[in-house]
Structure 1
Amino acid sequence: MTILSRKTVVSSVASLGVVALAAGCGSAPDDSSSSASGDAGDFKPCMISDTGGFDDKSFNQLGFEGLQEASKTLGVEPITVQSNSPTDYDPNLSNLVDQGCKLIVTVGFNLADATKASAEANPDVEYAIIDDSSIDASNVKPLTYDTAQSAFLAGYAAASFSKTGVVGTFGGSQFPTVTIFMDGFADGVNYFNQQKSKAVRVIGWDVAAQNGSFTGGFEANEVAKNTAQGLIDQNADVIFPVGGPIYQSAAQAIRDAGRPIALIGADADVFESDPSVGDLLLTSVTKGLKEGTNEAVTSAGQGNFDNTPYIGTLSNDGVGIAPFHDFSSQVDPALQGELDTVKAGIVDGSITVTSPSSPK
């Protein structure tokens, strides 16, 4: 069965503030030093985070960990910096260039404009940007992920697990890197309905209209909790927050609800990255951010940088879903086999999963 393509509708959103551990232009946190196990000469890898900071237990943290692993392999000392606001992006990049960074990894769609400007001004510096493919430059390597594919599996699992027949999703800001998850999730629910003659309803995101529920940022706060509560009030018993730490607020709303509601994590296997919510997690939609960053930095450090875009898919294990962990005994015993079959169909092309936000 094929899920039909939709017209591209992507909303532009104002830039967001950035939660920071280091103010403005800064040096690496204390834990960014690495023991040497290789020799990359004067190669100096650097990274700038987006919102949430390097301890967000999600998107930024995975990129940071990939940088650390690569730096250890190469035997070099990385420099990392976090920004207080979007106005810090340009000066932070300039600061890293001035410090002699050979490769600068920028974490997130928000940094695309600043990355492009810096790359054009410094053609001898190499760059890698996570979750953006808009920059066409010989010294910029995009690292992107087709999470519509993995979120499709999570949507199928959510529909299978739901007892109320209602599942919900909401995002931080309406960026393509957020809505791609929501598209895949909703389509996975619909595919389950088609295969099982069910009518599980998705709330919080309208695929056709490309609009839904967003908090306006990526902070764990009352807005995020209230947004999750709005889904709970509509009888959702599976909730998929997409946007870094906002899952923490959803977890609070779930605990306050006093009834069984499952959470789905995004980016990392949140069961492992944040055990405090492990008992709530049905699964997580994962992106190989750590592995992709590690590979890009290591290759550059070995003199093998190239600007060929990387796209993580189910086929190359760049995206996936986490195990059911504590929910293993609660899901339908047939579910994992069904997911394996669906995954195989996506990989061989017999099931088409598309999103206006899928990387090209």
Structure 2
Amino acid sequence: MTITTRKAVFSGLATLGVAALLAGCASAPEEGGGSTDGAAAPDFLPCIVSDSGGFDDKSFNQLGYEGLVEAADALGVDYKQVESATETDFAPNITSLVDQGCNLIVTVGFLLEEATTEAAAANPDVEFTIIDSSIEGENIKPIIFDTAQAAFLAGYAAASYSKTGSVGTFGGMQIPTVTIFMDGFADGVAYFNEQKGTDVKVVGWDVASQTGSFTGGFEANEVAKSSAQGLIDQNVDVLLPVGGPIFLSAIEAIKDSGKDIAMIGVDADLVETSPDNASLFLTSILKQMKVGVADVVTAAAGGEFSNEPYVGTLENDGVGIAPFHDFESKVDPALADELETIKAGIVDGSIPVESPSSPK
């Protein structure tokens, strides 16, 4: 499938980062929106369930948790959180929060779809919001992101930076919320090749066949490290690990290799969440989950819960890429302007790109 037949994906600017705003299908919500006076019912209790990555994953779960804490603190209410070690924990963890009187339960991730759907149907008086899922229900609010849009710019930047002519990506589990990053990344590389007449290769993911390299989970372990090493052995000099803590294993592989390899992070700006490794990060593909969760919690506290999905896009700054930080002096001086032009083209539809996993 060519770039010109794929739907527009998104990004923020490399030199500017992104605005911390997540939008709904209609219009972008104000940060801290929801209740017009910021007041919460005195017995309002927001809660959150992680996936198997845990709330200290420096990525996906952590951002959702921080959004809930931020809103709860601003509202002056208590909150509860529970971590899942495995997928078998999802349903009982949600049930435990229902039993503790939670009014709003945030479930973090696509893998919690089934457990969330069942709990919402069984508890119609409890409000649920799920990150990275489009499931529907009267009392379920999806928070979803077209991250292929941001990954497109990151792929273009990776191709521009590469000296070996090979860049790589691998994922945790082969699920839509992972492969959407890989699709956008590969499309961005392909667009660079089209524009520049180059032949930068993507190792680890094939968009057309939807096949590639996966660890089978989101844990930082030897499998993740060996997956990264396998790409490094194929001469990549930019590496995109997609799947929470697996980036920590990729860092180990890069350091062990002794090679000059840049990494692209996902979800959060890894320069901020993993500052000890800042010198490795070319940029990060951002999902503004923290702001989205905080807004949903605040709205629910003010009695303004809605099941209308939030969809983070380029146009509403719901996704983006982080600044180049330490790589600012190492990238092509023309790259920032090129990314500006591409971003505008993606927004107005003149540069169409789509992932099979993009929100519909």
Superposition TM-score, scaled by structure 1 size: 0.90
2:32 alignment partner in structure 1 = none
Q: Check the 8 A contact 2:238/2:263 in 1, yes or no.
A: yes
| 1:57 aligned residue | 58
Q: C-alpha distance in 2, partners of 1:259/1:92? A: 43
* CA gap 1:3/1:331 in 2 versus in 1, 3 angstroms: same
In structure 2, the partner of 1:126 is 127
Query: Deviations along 1:300-341, whole A, 9 cap, x unmatched?
Result: 111100000111011101000000000000000000110111
2:54·2:85 contact (CA, 8 Å) conserved in 1? Answer: no
Residue matched to 2:335: 335
Q: Tell me what 1:278 maps to.
A: 278
**Partner residue, 2:151:** 151
Query: Is this contact kept in 1: 2:39–2:302, CA < 8 A?
Result: no
Write out per-residue CA displacement over residues 53-87 of structure 1, whole angstroms, 9 at most, x where no aligned residue: 00000000000000011101211011000122222
Asked whether the 8 Å contact 1:3–1:354 carries over to 2, the reply is no
Q: Distance in 1 between matches of 2:243 and 2:85?
A: 18
**What is the CA-CA distance between 1:5 and the residue it aligns to?**
3.5
Q: Is the 8 A contact 1:205 1:213 kept in 2?
A: yes
Distance 1:89 1:3 in 2: 40
1:232 matched residue in structure 2: 232
Find the aligned partners of 1:102 and 1:244 in 2 and give their Cα distance: 28
Q: Which moved more, 1:81-90 or 1:42-51?
A: 81-90
Cross-structure match for 2:15: none
Which residue pairs with 2:244 in the alignment?
Answer: 244
Equivalent residue, structure 2, for 1:296: 296
* Aligned twin of 2:210: 210
Aligned residue runs from structure 1 range 7-156, under 5 A: 38-133=39-134, 135-156=135-156
**Partner in structure 2 of residue 23 of structure 1:** none
Per-residue deviation, 1:250: 0.7
Give the TM-score taking structure 2 as reference length: 0.90
Residues 164-217 of structure 1 show CA distances to partners (whole Å, capped at 9, x for unaligned) of: 000000000101000000000000000000011111000100000001000111
Q: For residues 95-145 of structure 1, give each alpha carbon's deviation from its aligned partner in whole angstroms, at most 9, with x where no partner exists.
A: 111111110000001110000000000111100000000x22110000000
1:38–1:73: 8 Å Cα contact kept in structure 2? Answer: no
Residues 51, 86 of structure 2: 8 Å contact kept: no
TM-superposed CA distance for 1:88, in Å, is: 1.7
Does the CA-based 8 Å contact 1:40-1:75 persist in structure 2?
no
Structure with larger RCO (C-alpha < 8 A, sep 6+): 2
User: Partners in 1 of 2:59 and 2:3 — Cα distance?
Assistant: 31
User: Residue 24 of structure 1 aligns with which residue?
Assistant: none
5+ residue gaps, structure 2, are: 8-37
**Does the Cα contact within 8 Å between 2:47 and 2:80 map onto a contact in 1?**
yes
Once the two structures are superposed, residues 241-266 of structure 1 have per-residue CA deviations (whole angstroms, 9 ceiling, x without a partner) of 00001111111111111121100000
- The 1-side partners of 2:60 and 2:264 are apart by 15
Look up the equivalent residue of 1:185 and give its one-letter code: F
Contact 1:2 1:350 in 2 (8 A): no
Matches within 5 A, 1:336-351: 336-351=336-351
Q: 1:142·1:310 contact (CA, 8 Å) conserved in 2? A: yes
Which sits farther off after the overlay, 136-145 or 88-97?
88-97
Equivalent pair of 1:145/1:319 in contact (CA under 8 Å):
yes
Q: Which amino acid is 2:80 matched to?
A: I
Q: Supply the AA of the counterpart residue of 2:299.
A: S
Q: Secondary structure at the match of 2:256?
A: helix
2:271 & 2:302 partners in 1: Cα distance?
34
Contact persistence 1:225–1:249 (CA under 8 A): yes
Cα offset, 1:40, TM superposition? 3.0
* Identity value in percent: 66
CA-CA distance at 1:38 after TM superposition: 4.9
Tell me the amino acid that sits aligned with residue 119 of structure 1. Answer: A
Deviation at 1:94, TM superposition (A): 1.3
Report the more deviating stretch, 251-260 or 211-220: 251-260
The root-mean-square deviation of aligned C-alpha atoms, in Å, is: 1.2
In the other structure, the counterpart of 1:21 is none
Match of 1:188 in 2: 188
Which sits farther off after the overlay, 242-251 or 344-353? 344-353
Corresponding position of 2:176: 176
Distance in 2, Cα, partners of 1:353 & 1:146 = 11
Q: Could you tell me which residue of structure 2 aligns to residue 320 of structure 1?
A: 320
Please give the alpha-carbon distance, in whole angstroms, between the structure 2 residues aligned to 1:257 and 1:59: 27
2:356 maps to 356
Q: Secondary structure at the match of 2:300?
A: helix
**1:2 to partner: Cα distance:** 5.0
